[in-house]
């Protein structure tokens, strides 16, 4: 059996294929971004999933695409810890941008972007992935992402920038104190996922003029920092992977049109397209 895994900072989607390349099972775990999660949690979190536990000895190969796996040290952590569970498997680890490029590929070169809990971009010509810009994480990067939008919302609430109606609704919804917010942002293992969770509030009210403008500005930031530096951006189709791109699709396309950029397809969950790519080109 072969496992294909798309792991973000919030959650991981697993698909297990049998020897005939048919889907045997689908599973979900938390995200295994080594920049945020303690490596000691990886084994127990995988073993917590009864479906994965059931087939762990039958899996001979794992293609793991993960957020935070753009550096070898983090790849090694995933290989070592996952290897403790899947003892018969060869484990291949690549960063999530590679998964996005594969999942969004439709036979022609394109700029491929991730807009989920974090954000990233690359150029994929069908064979080679060009990553021109570094991923700086949620503290100084991740423009347009769920964590960036959540950060804007929390900051504007506490600094009394939200309109009165939104401020009142935010306070009633979360009853959030400064101490609680700081604890979750600075003293927990997944602060980016914590901030991204506030997008539920924004998505439910995205037609509010203030929030719509806030998200629009964040999308412009994303294009400015993570797309426009690619010389191909003016001509190539720009495809997106991730829930943030999906939920704010109309605002994302408006921001792109403002910059004369051509947004192509937007895929919320790349795992199915990623599996299709593997069946066609890799397995």
Question: How much is the pTM?
Answer: 0.82
Joined together, the tokens standing for residue 88 give 């018969």
Backbone angles phi, psi at 33, to 5 degrees: -80, 110
Looking at the predicted structure, is the pLDDT value of residue 172 above 80?
yes
Joined together, the tokens standing for residue 49 give 């999933």
**What is the predicted pLDDT for the residue at 189?**
77
Within 8 A by CB and 6+ apart from 229, the residues are: 132, 133
Joined together, the tokens standing for residue 240 give 């997106």
**What is the predicted pLDDT for the residue at 283?**
87
* H or E element that contains 280: none
Backbone angles phi, psi at 107, to 5 degrees: 90, 0
Least confident range from 11-15, 35-39, 42-46, 89-93: namely: 35-39
**What is the predicted pLDDT for the residue at 111?**
96
Q: State the angle between helix axes of 164-174 and 146-158 in degrees (0 to 180), rounded to the nearest 10.
A: 110
Q: Which of 181, 196, 190 is nearest to 36 (CA)?
A: 190
Asked whether 126 and 105 are in contact (CB, 8 A), the reply is yes
Within 8 A by CB and 6+ apart from 53, the residues are: 46, 47
**What is the predicted pLDDT for the residue at 10?**
84
Mean pLDDT of all residues in 164-182: 96
């Amino acid at each position: 059996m072969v496992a294909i895994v798309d792991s973000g900072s919030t959650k991981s989607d697993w698909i297990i294929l049998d020897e005939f390349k048919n889907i045997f099972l689908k599973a979900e775990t938390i995200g295994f971004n080594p920049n945020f999660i303690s490596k000691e949690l990886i084994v127990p979190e995988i073993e917590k999933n009864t479906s994965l536990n059931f087939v762990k000895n039958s899996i001979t190969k794992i293609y793991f695409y993960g957020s935070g796996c753009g550096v070898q040290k983090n790849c090694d952590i995933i290989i070592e810890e996952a290897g403790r569970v899947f003892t018969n498997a060869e484990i291949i680890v690549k960063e999530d941008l590679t998964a996005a490029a594969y999942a969004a590929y439709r036979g022609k070169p394109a700029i491929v972007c991730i807009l989920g809990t974090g954000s990233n971009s690359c150029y994929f010509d069908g064979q080679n992935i060009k990553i021109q810009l570094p991923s700086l994480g949620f503290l100084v990067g991740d423009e347009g992402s769920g964590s960036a939008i959540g950060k804007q919302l929390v900051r504007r609430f506490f600094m009394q920038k939200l309109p009165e109606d939104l401020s009142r609704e935010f306070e009633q919804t979360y009853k959030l104190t400064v101490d609680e917010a700081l604890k979750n942002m600075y003293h927990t293992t997944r602060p980016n996922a914590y901030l991204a969770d506030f997008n539920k509030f924004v998505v439910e009210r995205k037609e509010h003029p203030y929030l719509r403008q806030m998200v629009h500005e964040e999308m412009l930031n994303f294009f400015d920092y993570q797309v426009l530096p690619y010389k191909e951006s003016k001509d190539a189709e720009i495809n997106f992977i991730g829930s943030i791109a999906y939920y704010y699709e109309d605002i994302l396309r408006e921001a792109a049109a403002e910059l004369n950029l051509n947004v192509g397809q937007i895929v919320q969950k790349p795992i199915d397209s990623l599996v299709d790519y593997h069946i066609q080109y890799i397995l």
